[in-house]
Amino acid sequence: MVFSTPIFLFYFLVLTLLAYYVVPRRFRNLVLLCASLLFYYWGEQTYVVIMFLSTAIDFTHGLLVERCKSRGNDRGARMAVASSILFNLALLFFFKYWDFIASSLQAAGLTFMPVLNIHLPIGISFYTFQTMSYTIDVYRGDARAQRSILNFGTFVTLFPQLIAGPIIKYKDLGDQIDSRDTSVEKFASGVQIFMVGMAKKVLIANNVGMLWDICKAMAPAELTVAGAWLGALAFSLQIYFDFSGYSDMATGLGRMLGFEFLPNFDHPYVSRSATEFWRRWHISLGTWFREYLYIPLGGSRVRPARRYLNLLIVWAATGIWHGASWNYLIWGLYFGLILVLEKKFVLRLLDGLPRWAGHLYTLFLVLVSWPIFAIEDFGHLTAYLKTMFGLGGAALADGSLVYYLTSYLPILAVAVLASTPLGVRLYHKLPQWTAQIAGAVLVLAGLTLCTAYLVDGTYNPFLYFRF
């Protein structure tokens, strides 16, 4: 994939930052818009037209909503919001779900929907949610309609988070789109955050991801119970460092350009419940569904039965948002059911247990969930889950497990340690001058190691690009 080509990214970032800081402030959004469109065009070519269309539609709808509201025409404003939502959902449905539904219907003997073999545009799940929330925010009075299509286009296409998030709501970024401050200190901290994210992705996620690929590719007869759990652990670390690493890179790049993005991860693997886990994991998606789906459905203000139904609806949507496959829906409903049970009685039980019991409970549920998320083939998924629980005659362990565990133990240990807040806490306890020196040394070391790894390696997947 071209976005993971190091030479392209290096020259693109250097030239963009150079142009951004050379031009007068009033032209910086123009530089960002052009750079973002070039960045997206490099990966998607003609599909950049969809981005133009989405920008134009939602820009005009935002103005229409505000005009109707100012004239007291609430019905017209609601119709404009509904039109914007319908357009964005139709766009997402056609490109992401048409072939999935068509193939599912054909498997059931219904052929009225043809399979079109549609290519999924990179990042469409992210930028459609961002533009869809814009008109809702304008209607609610949480944001003012943007008068400049150039500025609005900058918001929609902002390249640091364009293709894999985090999902940024206009009400959180609108003022920064119009005006933002830059400084040497802010730029330097952005570089540091970016390098932390790159190290997460390149040095940790890529390496533990190879272990997951090995375990996933094993035939059911070869995979042991311990090997299946080791694979689930490897994928849990891969997806965390892959996505949180990209989020950090986006945050760092944004800060280099003067933007402040809200955090997207908060050490989720230290959670003591699934409820807490989902307050710490992919925070931007969780807040989006809470504000634009869960609360409009009634949220927690309704009777318990309806509240539990609302949770299941939200989690079904969360699951299918991640991909057009039945395993994502099952994964979403799996967590939806767990969260319902936690709200009903499990959280009260956990409060009476030691902290370590809550951690083990959460890690168990999360580790079981990741194979459901990662394996789309039902036969393969069923066999893998059976092996995890010792069903189907799988051996507990064998010699290959010892070999892989020994080979990957150092990177697994680093990944487990890095997934906790320990490193951050130690860093913040250092004296300021020591922290600055340590930060500079780590940035240079990270840059050297990541560059060497990218030049020499070929395994560099970005898991969330396909969502």
Contact, 199 vs 449, CB < 8 A? yes
- DSSP letter at 203? I
Query: Whole-angstrom Cα distance, residue 228 to residue 391?
Result: 12
Query: Which residue has tokens 């829906």?
Result: 329
Query: Whole-angstrom Cα distance, residue 442 to residue 298?
Result: 47
Contact, 81 vs 292, CB < 8 A? no
Angle at 374 between CA 369 and CA 377, to 5 degrees: 110
Could you tell me which of 223, 273, 171 has the C-alpha nearest to residue 381?
223
- Do you know the residue count of the chain? 467
Could you tell me which of 281, 302, 299 has the C-alpha nearest to residue 290?
299
Angle at 3 between CA 131 and CA 124, to 5 degrees: 25
Contact, 198 vs 173, CB < 8 A? no
Query: Whole-angstrom Cα distance, residue 268 to residue 459?
Result: 26
Could you tell me which of 121, 370, 401 has the C-alpha nearest to residue 269?
370
Q: Which residues are catalytic?
A: 322
CA distances from 339 to 268, 314, 334 (A): 15, 11, 9
Angle at 93 between CA 91 and CA 96, to 5 degrees: 100
Contact, 233 vs 371, CB < 8 A? no
Residues with Cβ < 8 Å from 169, sequence gap 6 or more? 130, 133, 134, 137, 287, 288, 291
